[in-house]
Structure 1
Amino acid sequence: MTGLSPGECRIYWADPADEQPWHERLLSEGERARRASLRRAEDRARQTVAAALLRLLAGRHLDERPSAVRVERACTDCAVPHGRPSVPGGLDVSVSHSGDRIAVVLSLAGPVGVDVEQAQPQRDILGVARLALSEAEIAASAPLDQDGFYTYWTRKESVLKATGDGLRVAMTKIEVSTPAQDPRLHRFDGRPDVVAAARMFTLAPGAGYQGALTVLGTPSAVTEHDGSALLRHQAEGL
């Protein structure tokens, strides 16, 4: 893997099944505590692989040992380290995972947000949509199906992750293009600067998933890659 060029944004995909025993050595003390608090093995695997892949990728870009990469996850609302990840050196990053898909993004194009969601057939789509979508969005996509709902959701969450707001801001405060259209941010209440800066992309996480990326800038290139090989082979000098 070569280093990122100015304006470049790369998305790396992985699977919880890529977890290796040595990955835990890359986690910070806070991340280990978070891992230990998770009851289900699959949740621990997702968290571990996402954290390990982020450090492996950032370490290569920054020319540092993966274990030496400082990842801050400060939350603005509490002392638990579960906020948006950030690393030094001018690199913007974002992480998302759902089901068997894990996405880690590195960006030299500006603040970035990624979201991936696994479709849940049993979910009350319309009920949740009323909490997350504007009346105009629901009407524009009627009848709203699963793919449409998750397209809306991932687009909106990617925006809120790029700004660092997360779900502290109601999704109804922003409006995006319909699932049938190319992704675009149309409205963000009180934040016209975000609307002007946002560039959105549809990702390809595979069947049964929807994924979206938002960059607050003008990326020169956005590419998707398989990160599994990097996770399977133990890095030297951890």
Structure 2
Amino acid sequence: MTADSAPDVLVRPGECHVWTARAVSVSPDRLRLLDDRERRVYESLLRPGERALYLTAHALLRLVLGEALGRDPAGLVFAAGPHGKPYLEDAPVEFSLSHSGERVAVALTSGTPVGVDVERVTRPAELPLPVLSEEERVAFDRVPGPERAAAFTAYWVRKEAVLKATGEGLRVDPARLTVSAPDRPARLIGWRGRNDVQPHRTVRLYDLDAGEDYRGAVALLGGGAHRIVRRTVSSVRC
């Protein structure tokens, strides 16, 4: 990636760009992109796969932002919002980061609050069904057994994308949100406990093709529909 593109050229209003990458063997020299806190987190991870995933995710985020802003990726300084959502104080961009299994996703907009989530479909002995709302449970109970893990994951990424966009994260019980069934276009249907159906501003919710055995979603707050621009990164080069 280069660092010579202005943000209004890279991501235009009404667009949301989503980069996805696979975390494979990543050279430790990419650590030069990270700040001291990020390096400490990296060093605390014991498994090579966990280290590769973390380094790929945070290096990709910095490279994407550096290219958008025409700045040195290693020099970016992140601040945290009231609920811990990271942001850049001196940049008119919004972004979100997610990683799971061997997949990384970074979403970037020109000032529209955004949340992205990607999750690997796993098949535990028991799914954490209490995170589903009553309406979602009714639809989920009709899903055939072999398809239940993927369906549950689709519910989960849609909910988490919304909560990441608002900045509240899992401080909010996901069961308070109701999203559309996995076989329907992604949509936030309701939010129990809010004064209105949608939180704060209109929520636009989109599914992402995150690869085989993965599910992904991106949520945007306010304004009209966005064009989702998918960018696949084969390797994180510095």
- Aligned 8 A contact 2:31 2:39 in 1: yes
Structure 1 portions without partners, runs of 5+: 77-82
User: Which residue of 186, 199, 204 maps to 2:204?
Assistant: 199
Letter in 1 for 2:153: Y
Q: Which residue of the partner structure matches residue 176 of structure 2? A: 173
The Cα of 1:223 is off from its aligned counterpart by: 1.2
* CA drift at 1:202: 0.5
- Among 93, 97, 100, the alignment partner of 1:98 is 100
The equivalent residue for 2:161 is 158
| TM-score, length-scaled by structure 1 | 0.87
2:142 — aligned with what?
Answer: 143
What CA distance in whole angstroms lies between the structure 1 residues aligned with 2:97 and 2:91?
18
Task: Write the letter of the residue equivalent to 2:230.
Answer: E
Match for residue 194 of structure 2? 190
Partners of 2:97 and 2:25 in 1: CA distance: 16
The residue that corresponds to 2:30 in the other structure is 23
SS class of match (2:165): helix
Q: 1:104 to 1:163 in 2, by over 3 A?
A: same
Q: CA deviation at 1:149?
A: 0.6
Would the aligned equivalents of 2:81 and 2:167 in 1 still touch at CA under 8 Å? no
Deviation track 1:148-204 (CA, whole Å, cap 9, x = no partner) reads 111111100101111111111100111111112111111123153527510000100
Q: When the two structures are aligned, how many residues end up with a matched partner? A: 223
Q: Which residue of 2 aligns with 1:223?
A: 229
Q: As a proportion of its length, which structure holds more helix? A: 1
2:92/2:111 contact within 8 Å kept? no
Within a 5 Å distance, the mapping from 1:81-120 to structure 2 comes to 83-87=84-88, 88-108=90-110, 110-120=112-122
For the 8 Å contact 1:116–1:209, the answer to whether it is kept is yes
SS of aligned partner of 2:207: strand
SS in 2 for 1:10: strand
Whole-Å separation in 2 of the counterparts to 1:148 and 1:191: 29
Question: Any gaps of 5 or more consecutive residues in structure 2?
Answer: none
Question: Is the CA contact 1:9–1:109 (under 8 Å) kept in the aligned structure 2?
Answer: no
Write out the 4+ residue segments of structure 1 that deviate beyond 3 Å after TM superposition.
73-76
The answer to whether 1:70 aligns with 2:73 is: no
- Change in CA separation of 1:220 and 1:213 when aligned onto 2, cut-off 3 Å: closer
